[in-house]
Amino acid sequence: MAKELLRVEHIGMKFNLSKERVNDFREYVIRMLKGKKLEKDEFWALKDINFSIHEGERIGILGLNGAGKSTLLKVVAGVFKPTEGRVIRNGKIVPLLELGAGFDKNYTGRENIFLYGAVLGYGRQYMEEKYDQIVEFSGLEDFMDVPIKNYSSGMKSKLGFAIATIAEPEILILDEVLSVGDGKFRKKSEKKILDMMQDGTAVLFVSHSLAQVKRICNKAMILEGGKMIAFGDVDEVAQVYAEMTGELDELTVGQKNLVKKKNKKKKTEKIKQEDKREVMEES
């Protein structure tokens, strides 16, 4: 049986949302001195999430804006400590969440490669061996001696992705990172991820592109309002999601026909129910 690399048990994540706005720190201190605490609302971004990832599994996470996708990835990666439940990790995780977020803007591209490498747990010698490969992948050969503050956001993301490609994770966590950079870079990074998957790397992947999820993943889940409402085979879950969002363009002809058939059945049932109600009202 395939090795279980990660298990998520009854995860819940609560945020405190301030109901009132405080414009600056001075106003905050005055309120505290007056003994006026800010009113806070509790908000559960995730509630009772359970699943596991085994070797060779690539799970897509689907959901509308604010459904809790990024929060779930951050909990799995250990960025957030969950309010409830636990994450059991049995494999090396490399998260590609906010690419380039760890860069120091005053250092050059070259210096940041070594810095970022250290964050990923790699020493100077290993990074020196991998340096040319990283620069080549990023396509930023001419900008290595330029401080990061002069990079565009696309350039930062490219460099962040290029550094992460040297890692050899058992689980790769991807949050929308395959939509960074220009079309050429996007294709190249998707190919790189597919190559890593050939080597057996498991993937947890958030994307708003249903087509991309179907290309990369073999399983998927749907989050809605912080709850997992579907989990299973990627084609089946993608079909449910397409129905929810009306993204039928992304489906194959066969899948579209299936959805149309289902919708027709629903419509007929609705008409039948309305007819029945009218008859009952008349009598």
Ligand X SMILES: Nc1ncnc2c1ncn2[C@@H]1O[C@H](COP(=O)(O)OP(=O)(O)OP(=O)(O)O)[C@@H](O)[C@H]1O
**Is residue 65 at the binding interface for ligand X, with CB under 6 A as the rule?**
yes
Within 13 Å of residue 260, how many CA atoms lie on the same side as its CB?
9
Q: Which of residues 29-58 bind ligand X (CB under 6 A)?
A: 45
Amino acid at the residue 244 = M
User: Residue 123 interacts with ligand X (CB under 6 A)?
Assistant: no
Determine which residue in the list 5, 6, 59, 63 makes contact with ligand X, applying CB under 6 A. Answer: 63
Piece in contact with ligand X (CB under 6 A), picked from 63-71, 127-135, 162-170, 253-261: 63-71
- Indicate whether 112 belongs to the interface with ligand X (CB under 6 A): no
Rank residues 66 and 123 by Cβ distance to ligand X and give the closer one.
66
Considering the rule CB under 6 A, would residue 207 count as an interface residue with ligand X? no
Q: Which residues on adjacent β-strands are paired with residue 14?
A: 44
Position among 18, 30, 32, 66 found at the interface with ligand X (CB under 6 A): 66
41 or 281: CB nearest ligand X: 41
CA distance 2 to 178: 27
Q: Does 15 bind ligand X (CB under 6 A)?
A: yes
Task: Locate 211 and state its tokens.
Answer: 């087509």
Half-sphere exposure of 130 (CA within 13 A, CB side): 21
DSSP 8-state assignment for residue 39:
P
Q: Which CB, 67 or 166, lies closer to ligand X? A: 67
Instruction: Kindly indicate which of the ranges 20-28, 64-72, 139-147, 241-249 contains the residues binding ligand X, using the contact rule CB under 6 A.
Output: 64-72
Residue type, 256: K
Identify which of residues 135 and 174 has a Cβ nearer to ligand X in the complex. 174
Candidate residues 5, 51, 71, 217; the one interacting with ligand X per rule CB under 6 A: 71
Q: Could you please report the per-residue DSSP string of 139-203?
A: T-GGGTTSBGGGS-HHHHHHHHHHHHTT---SEEEEESGGG-S-HHHHHHHHHHHHHHHHTT-EE
The verdict on 138 binding ligand X (CB under 6 A) reads no
Cβ closest to ligand X, residue 139 vs residue 225 = 225
Residue placing its CB nearer to ligand X in the complex, 51 or 151: 51
**Beta carbons within 10 angstroms of residue 269's beta carbon:** 10
Count other C-beta atoms under 10 Å from residue 152's C-beta.
9
CB of 146 to ligand X, least distance (A): 30
Using left for φ > 0, alpha for ψ between -120 and 50, and beta otherwise, residue 30 falls in alpha
Distances (CA, A) of 237 to 3, 62, 176, 177, 222: 24, 9, 19, 22, 7
Footprint of ligand X on this chain (CB under 6 A)? Answer: 15, 17, 45, 63, 65-71
